[in-house]
């Protein structure tokens, strides 16, 4: 029997192979309808625009040092580590329907690709500058596809990313307005096309939880349901109404082991959506307050202080965490996890921390049902297979 290379069913089983991002040739994320990057310091932001063009070499080098440190740590745990190819992110993108001045970087494979068991799926993506971000990983995907006859490879339909796909006025809504609308789950993308970033999905064996966000809409979740249900998965949409700018689930709701999710105390799950976890004896552990406040995060970083909880599990007992997050280390230690601290703050301005900057290819283990007490209505059982999601 030929060995399976691609096999990962959840976020915590013993890790055997993973892709770690690289910071080479990274560019600042451009302003576009799906993204309005701003300087962290509000006073400076009033007088200076967000930078454009390539990131300075020394900034890229510092991030690469920390990414390489992660590689060394993973290899010391006998994990096979692969890296993306270099890519020229300075090339502008023009399709028949949009144009954007530059691309972004290959630091966060998690946003773009996801392994569902033996399948590698390329997400649609939601931003123009990330339309072609699968390219630095294509050579690797081909290699897995050639060497693992069981591997299934799919690429979700590319959205048009034309102006009409976005709701630009979203960016002008004052906070009170967003707060008022927080249960509408309407953000900068409309509901007319299939849109999702891979990092809005969290894998729990045969159950996949997908967050509705600025980067994933309801048709995106419906597409994932239709795609995954015939293979035995159950796909659930989840919401965190107090996150007024949601993007990617892995700073909000992070499973660490069967029965244990690290949760964000400022972003509780929507009332009623906790039930499936409680009914199945899952425990929510609240993350402690992060070391840096939002104001203290790096100037060009567009993520929140909750990158603190963007940890990477290498087994149901071992978690890699950012070095300065001592309160989190203590909490995990108290819950019986072995913590491996590693410096990673120089990676923050490239869009993420340890979970974002990786994409697991193989973890030991198979597809298990961690929610045996679950009332799940598959699409096939609903009227014409049309989900209540879009009604």
Chain residues in the site for ligand DAV (CB under 6 A): 111, 199, 247-248, 251, 303-304, 306, 351-352, 356
Which of 17, 390, 9, 10 shows the shortest CA–CA distance to 221? 390
Say which residue the tokens 């929510």 belong to: 284
- Residue closer to ligand DAV, measured from CB, 286 or 369: 286
Which of 113, 256, 105, 85 shows the shortest CA–CA distance to 198? 113
Those residues with Cβ within 8 angstroms of residue 275's Cβ, 6 or more apart along the chain or in another chain:
none
- Residue closer to ligand DAV, measured from CB, 248 or 345: 248
Q: What are phi and psi of 220, to 5 degrees?
A: -60, -45
- Residue closer to ligand DAV, measured from CB, 203 or 234: 203
Q: Which of 197, 200, 207, 360 is catalytic?
A: 197
354, 310 contact by CB (below 8 A):
yes
Respond yes or no: is residue 188 known to be catalytic.
Answer: no
User: Measured from the CB of residue 37, what is the shortest distance to ligand DAV in angstroms?
Assistant: 13
User: Measured from the CB of residue 371, what is the shortest distance to ligand DAV in angstroms?
Assistant: 25
138, 82 contact by CB (below 8 A):
no
Q: Which of 13, 111, 148, 248 is catalytic?
A: 248
User: Measured from the CB of residue 174, what is the shortest distance to ligand DAV in angstroms?
Assistant: 20
Respond yes or no: is residue 201 known to be catalytic.
Answer: no
Q: What are phi and psi of 383, to 5 degrees?
A: -55, 120
- Residue closer to ligand DAV, measured from CB, 130 or 225: 130
What pairing do the DSSP bridges indicate for beta strands 260-263 and 283-286?
parallel
User: Measured from the CB of residue 160, what is the shortest distance to ligand DAV in angstroms?
Assistant: 23
Q: What is the three-class DSSP state of 32?
A: strand
User: Measured from the CB of residue 110, what is the shortest distance to ligand DAV in angstroms?
Assistant: 7
Exposure letters 3-21 (e unless 16+ CB within 10 A, then b): eebbbbbbbbbbbbbbbbb
Q: What are phi and psi of 279, to 5 degrees?
A: -60, -25
- Residue closer to ligand DAV, measured from CB, 245 or 376: 245
User: Measured from the CB of residue 226, what is the shortest distance to ligand DAV in angstroms?
Assistant: 25
What pairing do the DSSP bridges indicate for beta strands 207-211 and 201-204?
antiparallel
Q: Which of 148, 207, 356, 360 is catalytic?
A: 356
Cα distances (Å, whole numbers) of residue 141 to 83, 119, 120, 132: 11, 11, 8, 15
User: Measured from the CB of residue 366, what is the shortest distance to ligand DAV in angstroms?
Assistant: 28
- Residue closer to ligand DAV, measured from CB, 126 or 387: 126
User: Measured from the CB of residue 228, what is the shortest distance to ligand DAV in angstroms?
Assistant: 22
- Residue closer to ligand DAV, measured from CB, 296 or 369: 296
Alpha carbon 231 to chain centroid, angstroms: 22
- Residue closer to ligand DAV, measured from CB, 113 or 199: 199
Which of 228, 351, 263 shows the shortest CA–CA distance to 301? 351
Respond yes or no: is residue 356 known to be catalytic.
Answer: yes
Alpha carbon 19 to chain centroid, angstroms: 14
How many residues are there in the chain? Answer: 391
User: Which segments of the chain does DSSP mark as H helices, in order?
Assistant: 42-47, 57-76, 135-147, 175-180, 218-228, 275-279, 326-334
352, 307 contact by CB (below 8 A):
yes
- Annotated catalytic sites, by residue? 197, 248, 356
């Amino acid at each position: 029997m030929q060995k399976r290379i691609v096999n990962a069913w959840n976020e915590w089983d013993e890790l055997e192979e993973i892709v770690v991002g690289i910071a080479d040739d990274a560019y600042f994320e451009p302003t576009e309808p799906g993204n309005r990057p701003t300087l962290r310091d509000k006073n400076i932001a009033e007088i200076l625009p967000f930078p454009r063009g390539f990131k300075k070499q020394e900034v890229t080098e510092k991030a690469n040092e920390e990414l390489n440190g992660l590689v060394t740590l993973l290899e010391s745990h006998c994990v096979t580590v692969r890296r993306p190819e270099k890519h020229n992110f300075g090339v502008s993108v023009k399709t028949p329907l949009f144009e954007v001045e530059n691309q972004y970087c290959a630091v966060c494979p998690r946003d773009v690709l996801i392994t569902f068991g033996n399948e590698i799926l390329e997400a649609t993506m939601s931003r123009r500058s990330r339309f072609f971000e699968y390219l630095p990983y294509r050579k690797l995907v081909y290699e897995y596809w050639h060497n693992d006859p069981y591997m299934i490879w799919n690429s979700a339909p590319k959205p048009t990313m034309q102006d009409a796909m976005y709701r630009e006025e979203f960016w002008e809504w004052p906070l009170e307005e967003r707060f008022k609308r927080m249960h509408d789950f309407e953000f900068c993308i409309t509901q007319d096309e299939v849109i999702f970033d891979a990092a809005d999905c969290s894998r729990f064996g045969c159950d996949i939880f997908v967050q509705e966000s600025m980067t994933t809409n309801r048709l995106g979740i419906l597409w994932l349901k239709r795609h995954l249900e015939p293979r035995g998965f159950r796909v659930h949409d989840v919401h965190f109404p107090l996150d007024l700018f949601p993007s990617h689930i892995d700073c909000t709701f992070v499973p660490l082991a069967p029965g244990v999710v690290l949760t964000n105390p400022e972003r509780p799950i929507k009332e009623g959506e906790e039930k499936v976890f409680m009914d199945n004896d899952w425990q929510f552990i609240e993350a402690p307050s992060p070391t840096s406040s939002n104001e203290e995060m790096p100037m060009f970083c567009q993520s929140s202080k909750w990158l603190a909880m963007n940890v990477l599990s290498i087994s149901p007992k071992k978690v890699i965490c950012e070095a300065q997050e001592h309160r989190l280390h203590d909490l995990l230690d108290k819950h019986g996890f072995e913590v491996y601290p590693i410096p990673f703050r120089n990676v923050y301005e490239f869009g993420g921390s340890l979970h974002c900057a990786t994409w697991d290819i193989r973890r030991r283990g198979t597809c298990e049902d961690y929610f045996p007490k679950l009332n799940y209505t598959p699409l096939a059982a609903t009227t014409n297979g049309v989900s209540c999601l879009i009604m």
